[in-house]
Structure 1
Amino acid sequence: MNKNLVVLGMQWGDEGKGKVIDCLSKKFHYIVRYQGGHNAGHTLLVNDQKIVLHLIPSGVLHKHTKLFLGNGVVISPIDFIKEIDILSSYNISLENRLFISRNCFLVLGYHINMDLAREKKLGKYLIGTTGRGIGPTYEDKVARRGITVGDLFNEDLLSQKLKNNIDYYNFQLNHYYNYSTVKFDDIFLNLIKYKDILLSKVKDIPYLLNYYNDTEPKNILFEGAQGALLDLDHGTFPYVTSSNTTIGGVFTGSGVNLNSINCVLGIFKAYCTRVGSGPFPTELTDELNSYFVDKGKEIGSTTGRRRRTGWLDLVLLSRMVSLNSVSSLCLTKIDVFDGLSEFKVCIGYQNYDDLNVLSMSSSVLDWNSIRPVYKVFSGWKTSLLGITKFSDLPTEAKYYIHYIENFVGVPINIISTGPDRSSIIMVRDIIN
């Protein structure tokens, strides 16, 4: 029987999904990315060298896997080809392994310029996007003017749509944003340059996934980008991404049927981080912030920006666990607490008796009035780095883990105790 798994980030992204998916991939045959673009990044180690990927799924290092980019993903042709070339330089072949939906929308130069122009216009009220054009690309999708991979099959149609879009964007960039415009020839010629590679990988992704699921005893892993708190509908709006990072995005972004999912694994860090602007109730601004940034290496793999850090927020974690039907949890970066004599966890908010009363789309003023209620935990006087058995964890760490499980009502079955692929505790097998 198939065992199909969805892996979701439970916070604002950067929870360590790449490493966990890489570790789990040996038990899966098909890895599916269903939303986001090259605004998300995951770091993999190849021959002790770091490779940062933004579009190609994390399971790429396992040669037996086939990789899919569903229709919910937006693709930058230049960055897509760049990743293929990088992997090729490490003798990692994607031939007959990587497939994309013809309905993936393309991230083009005018999207990037518009993204940057809008952030500049917002000034101190900016969203904090990656500046990679993801938002404007999804906007084009909703406005029915976007260009898809499938449009590359017809150069005349492609040319006309591209001209219309460039006129539309250049007028705004020039007359409203006072920002640099783009040239038709530059974008069109690049698309023609990459056309054959992109089209050679086009497949009917929903048909294949549902066919495989119905006819083959092979496992499918669905990989999300960013985190659930950045979901367009259920995150801390408007400081969110432009796609659905929660469970619904799996189905709309891949076309797989509802009955295909057996397990939802939620990944969260022992503390919280977020990149860019937006609400962050447990944020730290003192020396502890520097501690987490330094020890946890909290620098964005996509942007290079220093991440904001804060204590673990069980109110928000509980909300995301419930909203996404999470059946199993993975705790990462617990080893970062090794140097602390004590640490805190948010277990409630002052003036909020109902832990779910807070809407993720509440105004920023509401968020600013929140005062977290903390529980203080004792630290441990030993290193957790590289521990691979739950029984070897110190008593204080076990108590902390059990407390979280009882609070959110879901077991923590995987614990990451370091950046290395082998530094992981499999408390329970979630696959078999």
Structure 2
Amino acid sequence: MPNVTVIGAQWGDEGKGKIVDWLSSRADIVVRFQGGHNAGHTLVVDGKVYKLSLLPSGVVRGKLGVIGNGVVVDPHALLAEIELMREQGLSVSPRNLRIAENVPLILPLHSALDKAREQARGSHKIGTTGRGIGPAYEDKVARRAIRLCDLAEPETLDWKLDELLLHHNTLLAGLGAETFDKKTLTDSLLSLAPKLLPFMEPVWDLLDEARKSRQRILFEGAQAVMLDVDHGTYPYVTSSNTVAATAASGAGVRPSSVGFVLGIAKSYTTRVGEGPFPSELHDEVGQKLGERGKEFGTVTGRPRRCGWFDAVLVRRAVKVGGIAGLALTKLDVLDAFDEIKICSGYKLDGKSITSFPSSPAAQRRVEPVYEVMKGWKSTTYGAKSWADLPAEAIKYIRRIEELVEVPVTLLSTSPERDDTVLMSDPFEE
């Protein structure tokens, strides 16, 4: 059976949670393969709101959830999220959640370093969430990370903490921040071990058995392509690769397992934090998009910057992210506009360019080139079929398809999971 990989096609916050939740009804297993608890997915089910940061969205459907080795896990954040979901009536236990034994852990010192660095950057701040994601990935690459499997071996934990503290306390002291005590960290980790180790498993074996038995796997990405550490608006990016290819390495499966790649894009564009944003609107139109779309970050609570749909950015995400089809969300937010614009090209220093430049200085000088389309008078909110859509809304969707060079295969018309228009089932592609 084919698998599906879901990734963001803009700067995150595109509504991946609802789409993954909706698709998980067709899946057997849902896998998170990168990122940390700086990502947030909001699901609305029968009027009840679930906010997930680490748990795979499939837990709301009662599916088996897997956290892959490409994720960095804050143990305290994970356990708090599990407890919150239990309070909301969901069952989360080792029976329906498995965590890769080699997943790196985020420790309090990572968050402390993240915040101290951001403060030291002053006007050049990146806009991190301060949750320690970047420093945790640095430790992974530098081969000094504490991993979940280390909690089962106190001797290993002992010498690894020596190395970790030598590095981090030196940096923290240099930044004028408080340093960390080895015994306090050791005691904390050992107290967490009995709560976390029951979830541990070599998940690549589990996923390979699922492949052999032809189970459907849904790979769930965090953030989005334009926040990819290689392909995004560097340095205003996250600390992991967010493209679909990462699903294989971040879960421990063969590259062919990635399957159909579905990119999620809003019908307009938003961004949280710092960094270039060519189609950003600083006027009443941008404010109206934010108000109608309730644009606040799921994790940070920060208001999102808003602008018109940027087809140049999404087309780049399609190419480098391996996207085969788009799920277009929040079309109903555009119901109230007499005219709607699409950024279909750029100008840089007076010259037309066809792609987003890599240079941060050039990115900030980019000027959007807009196409103007007529708005629609009737509502798209809650539409469940193509026939429910106004003619002008269909024209808008068709133009997006032409510009980004892939079809729109799913359309979301409200936060409710059933308000979804399906043009083609990604699991059948």
Q: Same-fold call, TM > 0.5?
A: yes
- TM-score, normalised via structure 1 length: 0.95
**1:264 is the counterpart of 2:261:** yes
**Residue 306 (structure 1) shift:** 0.8
CA drift of 1:141 comes to: 0.6
Partner in structure 2 of residue 194 of structure 1: 192
Letter in 2 for 1:26: S
Q: Could you tell me which of 404, 407, 410 is aligned with 1:408?
A: 404
> 1:226, CA displacement in angstroms?
0.2
User: Aligned AA for 1:188?
Assistant: T
Counterpart in the other structure of 2:76? 78
Q: Which amino acid aligns with 1:170?
A: N
In terms of mean alpha carbon deviation, does 370-379 or 199-208 score higher?
Answer: 199-208
Partner of 2:287: 290
Cα distance in 2, alignment partners of residues 112 and 262 from structure 1: 35
Distance 2:310 2:35 in 1: 25
Partner secondary structure for residue 370 of structure 2:
strand
On the 8 A contact 2:271/2:306 being kept in 1, the answer is yes
Q: For residues 129-150 of structure 1, what are the alpha-carbon distances to aligned partners after superposition, in whole Å with 9 as ceiling and x for unaligned?
A: 0100000000001111111001
SS of 2:226 mapped into structure 1:
helix
Residue number among 355, 377, 394 corresponding to 1:381 in the alignment: 377
- Once the two structures are superposed, the pairs formed by residues 298-313 of structure 1 within 5 Å of their partners are 298-313=295-310
After TM superposition, list the pairs within 5 Å mapping 1:205-354 onto structure 2.
205-214=203-212, 216-351=213-348, 353-354=352-353
The residue identity in structure 2 corresponding to 1:123 is: G
The farther-off stretch of 300-309 and 43-52 is 43-52
> One-letter code of the match for 2:112?
N
Separation in structure 1 between the aligned mates of residue 118 and residue 81 of structure 2, nearest angstrom: 27
Work out the CA distance in 2 between the residues paired with 1:274 and 1:185. 41
- Amino acid in structure 2 at the alignment position of 1:316: L
Look up the equivalent residue of 2:25 and give its one-letter code: K
Cα deviation code 1:241-265 (max 9, x no counterpart): 0000012211111111022233110
What is the Cα deviation at residue 47 of structure 1?
A: 5.6
Shift, 1:104, TM fit? 0.6
Q: Deviations over 1:330-367 (max 9, x none)?
A: 000110011111111100112554523x33x31x2211
User: Which residue matches 2:162?
Assistant: 163
**Alignment deviations for residues 88-127 of structure 1 (CA, whole Å, 9 cap, x no partner):** 2233222311001111100001100000001000011100
- Aligned equivalent of 1:145: 144
Aligned position for 2:11: 12
Report the Cα offset of residue 418 of structure 1.
1.0
Letter in 1 for 2:26: K
Give distance in 2, aligned partners of 1:209 and 1:277.
37
Determine the C-alpha separation between the residues in 1 that align with 2:46 and 2:345. Answer: 44
User: 1:208-243 CA distances to partner (integer Å, 9 max, x unpaired)?
Assistant: 2122112x1321000000001000111111111000
Flag the 1:315–1:46 CA change in 2: closer, same or farther, 3 A: closer
Q: Please list the CA deviations of residues 16-37 of structure 1 after superposition, one character each: whole Å capped at 9, or x if unmatched.
A: 0000111111110010100000
- State the distance in 1 between where 2:43 and 2:183 align: 36
Inter-partner Cα distance in structure 2 for 1:103 and 1:83 = 21
Q: Counterpart in 2 of 1:390?
A: 386
SS in 1 for 2:44: strand
Equivalent position of 1:37 in the other structure: 36
Identity, % of aligned pairs? 43
Which one of 362, 366, 372 corresponds to residue 366 of structure 1? 362
Question: 2:172 matched to which residue of 1?
Answer: 173
Q: Specify the code of the residue in structure 2 equivalent to 1:102.
A: E
Distance 2:45 2:374 in 1: 37
Paired amino acid for 2:34: Q
> TM-score, normalization: structure 2?
0.96
Cα distance in 2 for partners of 1:187, 1:80 equals 17
Pairwise CA RMSD: 1.4
Contact 2:244–2:258 (8 Å) recurs in 1: no
1:166, CA displacement in angstroms?
2.2
> Which deviates further from its counterpart, 5-14 or 205-214?
205-214
Q: Name stretches of at least 5 consecutive residues in structure 2 with no aligned partner.
A: none
Contact 2:6 2:244 in 1 (8 A): no
Q: Provide the rounded CA distance (Å) in 2 between the counterparts of 1:164 and 1:413.
A: 49
1: CA distance, partners of 2:390 / 2:48: 32
Q: CA deviation at 1:3?
A: 1.8
Equivalences for 1:116-131 in 2 at 5 Å? 116-131=115-130
1:45 to partner: Cα distance:
3.0
Q: Secondary structure at the match of 2:410?
A: strand
Given candidates 403, 406, 419, the residue that maps to 2:415 is 419
Counterpart code for 2:155: D
Matched residue SS, 2:219: strand
Equivalent residue of 1:410, what SS?
coil
Distance 1:116 1:60 in 2: 31
The answer to whether the Cα contact below 8 Å between 2:245 and 2:255 also exists between their aligned partners in 1 is: no
The size of the alignment, in residue pairs, is: 425
